[in-house]
Chains A and B, each alone.
Chain A
Amino acid sequence: MSLYTAETRRLTKRRFSRFFLLGVVVVLALIAGGMFFSNQKNTPEVVAAAQAKADREFQQAVVQSEAEKKACAAQPGSDCANMWTPTRDDFQAEWYMPSTFDFREQFGAMETALAAILAVMAFVIGASFVGAEWTSGGMMNLLLWRPQRIKVLSTKLGALLVTLSVVTVVISLIWTGIFAVIGNLRGTMEGMTSGAWQSVMLMELRGLGLVLFAGAVGFGLASLGRHTAVAMGVAIGVVVLFQFGLGTVLSLAGVKFLEAYLIPTWAAAWVDKSVKLEDWNACNVSPDGCVPDTLTITWPMAGGVFGAVLVLVVGLAMWTLRSRDIT
C-alpha cells in the first residue's frame, strides 16, 4: 500500500502530468465555450421570428414562381407544366432558427470527443510516467528498494489507472453537467428520459474504458522500450503507417470496408456502441433502389480487439521486465 501511495504521489507531483492535464482542460473548456456561444435557445420569440421569416420567404417564392409561370406561358411552345411551385413544406420555420443544442441528439458526439481527447492524454501521461522513470534512473533506484519487479510495475500501472479513472470520472461528470447547462440555456433537454441518461452513463463508462486502455498501452510500450520516446514512436508509426499508409494502399486496391482497418473506427464503435460501414461499390437491388453492402462493428467486437492488444502489450512489458537485466 505504501508503494501504491508513493507511486500515486509521484504521478500527481510530476509537472508534465499536471501541465498536460491543464492543457486538456483548456482544450475542453474552449470546445464547451464554442458550443455555448454558437448555439441559442429557441424561445417563443425566436420561433415566431423564424416563422415570420419563413412565411415571408414563402410568399416571395410564390410571387416569383407565378411571375416565372406567366413569363413561360407568354412564350409559345414552352412546357410550363413542370415548373416548381413552392409549398409550405419548402419553407419550414426551423430552417430559419439559429443553431440550438439538442442534448439527446448531440451529446453523444461530445462524449466521443471527450473520450478521444482523454485517451490521447492517458497514452502520453502513461508512457512518460514509466518512461521518465527508466531514463532518469528512478526505476533502478526503486527496484533497489523494492526488488520485486512485477509488483513494482503492477503497482505503478495500478496507480496510473486509478488516477486516470478518477480524472476521467470527474471530468466526464463536469463535461456532462456543462452540456446539460448548455442544453438548458442554449438548446433543449427534451427526450432525456431515465433510459436516455442511462445510455449516457454507459457511453461514459465505455469512454472510461478507452481512456484506461490508452493509458495502459502507453505505459506498456514505454516499459518495453524503457523510454517514453518508444511509446511515442510506436504511436506515430502506427498513425503514419497504418492510418495514412494502409488507408491509402487499401483505397487504391479498392478493398471493401477499408475503414475497418483504421483504429478510429474501432474506437468510435466502442464508444458509440456501433459503427456501420457501407460499401457503395456494391449495389444490391431492392424496392428502395440501390442498397450498399454493410459491415457493422459493435462495441463487443471493438472491446475484444482492444482487450487482446492490452493483454499483449502489458503482458509483454511484464515478461520483459521479469526476464531482462537492468543495466
Chain B
Amino acid sequence: MSAVLEIQGLQKTYRSRKGVRKALDGFDMVVEAGQVHGFLGPNGSGKTTTLRTLLGLIRPNAGRMAILGREVPAALPEVAGSVGAIVESPQFFGNFSAQDTLLLLADAGGVERARVFEVLELVGLRDRAKDRVKTYSLGMKQRLAVASALLKNPRLLILDEPANGLDPGGIREMRTLMRNLAESGMTVVLSSHILGEIQLICDSVTIIAAGRRVAAGSVAEVLAQHATSSVRVRLESAVDLPASAAALRELGAQVSLEQDHLMVSGIAQPSAITRTLALRNVFVSELAPVSVDLESVFLELTGTAPVAGEHRQVDQTVMAQAGPAHGGWGQ
C-alpha cells in the first residue's frame, strides 16, 4: 500500500503575550491508501492544528507534509481537488440553503452540479436541501459539512468530528458511509472522541498528545501493544480479598485490590490463581480475562483518565512512550 498522507516532524508554535505554546512538537503521521484512519487525541492535543496545517490554513514552523505523494503546502492547489475536508464544527452562511451552499462550492471548485444532488441524497438532506442552513440542527449541519467534503469525490477525505451532533441513527449511517467510501477506494481520516466508533470502523489509528505522536499503527497492533494479561477475580466472599491478594503476590503476581474483586496480572496460567486460593479454602466465583479497548489505551497513553477528586485541566496530559512510533515518514 502507498501512503496517501505523510507528516514528519511537524512543529507549530504559537506566540502570544502570555508566552510561547507548542501546539505541535515534532508530530509524525502516516495514512495508507484505502484505509479508514482514526486520528485521536484529547482536547488541545494538536489534532485540529495538524489538520489545519495539512490543509494550508496554518503555516508550520518546521516539518514535512505530503498528500497523495505531493509536498504540501507547495502543491496544495494541485492536490486540493482530490482532498475533501471538514475542520472542526461545520460553518456555513446561515441564510443560504444547503443546495445553494453546495452549488456555490461546486461552481468555485469546477465540480459538476449534478454531484450536488448526489451528495445531498447520500447524507440524507435531499428533502431539506432548499431550507436555509440556519434552520438546521447541529446534526444536519454536520451532514451538510460531510456533503461538502464529499462533493469533489475526493481520494482523501478528512473529517474532524463528523459524528458530532448526530443522533444514534445518524452515527450508524455515518459509520456505514465511511466503510462504503473506504471500500470504494477512498482514504478516510477521521478525528473523533467517540473511541468506540473509531475502534469499530477504523483500520488504523494515530494517537496524539501534547503535540506528539504517542501511538500509531493498525487498531489491532495498538491494542496488542498495550494489552495486559490481566484477570478479574471475584471470590465467594469479599472478606477474603485482602488475604487472597497477599497470597497471589507471594506467587509473583501484580495484584490490585478493588472494591469487590481483584485485578491480577503477571501470571502465566490463570489456573495458578484457582489452585493457590483453593489451597487456602478460598473459592473463586469469577475468573475473567480483561480485554483492553481503545478507550483504555487512549486514556493510558494520553494520561487523561479521570482521577477521583482531581479536576484535570485541558492541557494536562502525560507524555507516555514519546519515543519513535511505528509508521514514520516513508515507511
Q: Which residues of B contact A234 (CB under 8 A)?
A: none
- Asked if B57 contacts A143 (CB within 8 A), the reply is yes
Given A140-B57, A144-B55, A325-B58, the answer on whether A6 and B107 have CB atoms closer than 8 Å is: yes
**Contact among A3, A13, A136, A325 for B108, CB-based, below 8 A:** A3
Tell me which of A34-42, A71-79, A81-89, A145-153 binds B: A145-153
Task: Say how far A5's CB is from chain B's closest CB, in angstroms.
Answer: 6
- Asked if B104 contacts A15 (CB within 8 A), the reply is no
**A142 touches B (CB below 8 Å):** yes
Task: Say how far A139's CB is from chain B's closest CB, in angstroms.
Answer: 9
- Asked if B59 contacts A138 (CB within 8 A), the reply is no
Q: How does the 8 Å CB contact mask read for A119-148 relative to B, with 1 for contact and 0 for none?
A: 000000000000011001110111111111
Complex interface residues of chain B between 260 and 318 (CB less than 8 A to chain A): none
In the assembled complex, the Cα of A141 lies from the Cα of B148 at a distance in Å of 9
- Asked if A9 contacts B80 (CB within 8 A), the reply is no
Q: Which residues of A contact B110 (CB under 8 A)?
A: 2
In the assembled complex, the Cα of A327 lies from the Cα of B55 at a distance in Å of 12
In the assembled complex, the Cα of A6 lies from the Cα of B107 at a distance in Å of 5
Tell me which of B25-33, B87-95, B161-169, B184-192 binds A: B87-95
**A308 touches B (CB below 8 Å):** no
In the assembled complex, the Cα of A275 lies from the Cα of B35 at a distance in Å of 71
**A14 touches B (CB below 8 Å):** yes
Q: How does the 8 Å CB contact mask read for B146-161 relative to A, with 1 for contact and 0 for none?
A: 0010001000000000
In the assembled complex, the Cα of A186 lies from the Cα of B205 at a distance in Å of 80
Interface size on B, residues (CB 8 A): 28
Q: Majority SS of interface residues in chain B?
A: loop
Residue of A nearest to B79 (CB): A147
- Asked if A327 contacts B80 (CB within 8 A), the reply is no
In the assembled complex, the Cα of A179 lies from the Cα of B57 at a distance in Å of 51
Q: How does the 8 Å CB contact mask read for A38-63 relative to B, with 1 for contact and 0 for none?
A: 00000000000000000000000000
Given A15-B95, A132-B93, A138-B91, the answer on whether A144 and B108 have CB atoms closer than 8 Å is: no
Q: Which residues of B contact A14 (CB under 8 A)?
A: 95
Residue of A9, A141, A144, A327 ringed by the most chain B CB atoms within 10 A: A144
**B85 touches A (CB below 8 Å):** yes
**A204 touches B (CB below 8 Å):** no
- Asked if A327 contacts B73 (CB within 8 A), the reply is no
Q: Which residues of B contact A132 (CB under 8 A)?
A: 93
In the assembled complex, the Cα of A15 lies from the Cα of B80 at a distance in Å of 30
**8 smallest A-B Cβ distances: which pairs?**
A137-B91, A6-B107, A6-B108, A326-B57, A147-B56, A147-B76, A325-B58, A136-B93
- 10 new A-B contacts at CB < 8 Å, known A6-B107, A9-B104, A327-B52: A6-B104, A6-B105, A10-B104, A13-B100, A136-B93, A138-B91, A140-B57, A141-B91, A141-B92, A326-B57
